[in-house]
Structure 1
Amino acid sequence: MSKTQQLSKIGNFFRAFGSAVAVAEATRLGHQPVASDLRALGIDPVQFKSIYRR
């Protein structure tokens, strides 16, 4: 594996982690997370909106 590929994997990990944190925080505050963050995590934004929250 080349150094560029290693750095790319590390970057992808941090982007996914950042999306997870952003989605968790928005959900905690009762807001709709940004669609791009949901897609980065493999979650369909339309389906996410239909989840019932108390």
Structure 2
Amino acid sequence: MSKRKIFSTLGDLFTTFGSAVAASRAVEAGRKPRADDLRNLGMDPAVFNRIGRF
């Protein structure tokens, strides 16, 4: 595995983790997460917006 591949994988890991933290903080604060954060986590923002409160 080349060094470039390792750094790319680490960058993707940090991006995904950062998006997860940002989305969870937004939801906890009662706000809608950013669409980019949801896409980074593999979620469709349009579908996420249809989720209602319990």
Q: Structure 1 length as normaliser, TM-score?
A: 0.96
Identity of aligned residues (%): 48
Pairing 1:37-48 to 2, within 5 Å after superposition:
37-48=37-48
Moved over 6 A (4+): none
Name the residue aligned to 1:52: 52
CA distance in 2, matches of 1:40, 1:3: 23
Q: Report SS of the residue matched to 1:25.
A: helix
Name the residue aligned to 2:9: 9
Q: Which runs of 5+ in 1 are unaligned?
A: none
Q: Which runs of 5+ in 2 are unaligned?
A: none
CA distance in 2, matches of 1:50, 1:28: 17
Q: Quote the offset at 1:53 in angstroms.
A: 1.7
Aligned CA-pair RMSD: 0.7
CA distance in 1, matches of 2:29, 2:38: 16
Q: Quote the offset at 1:2 in angstroms.
A: 0.2
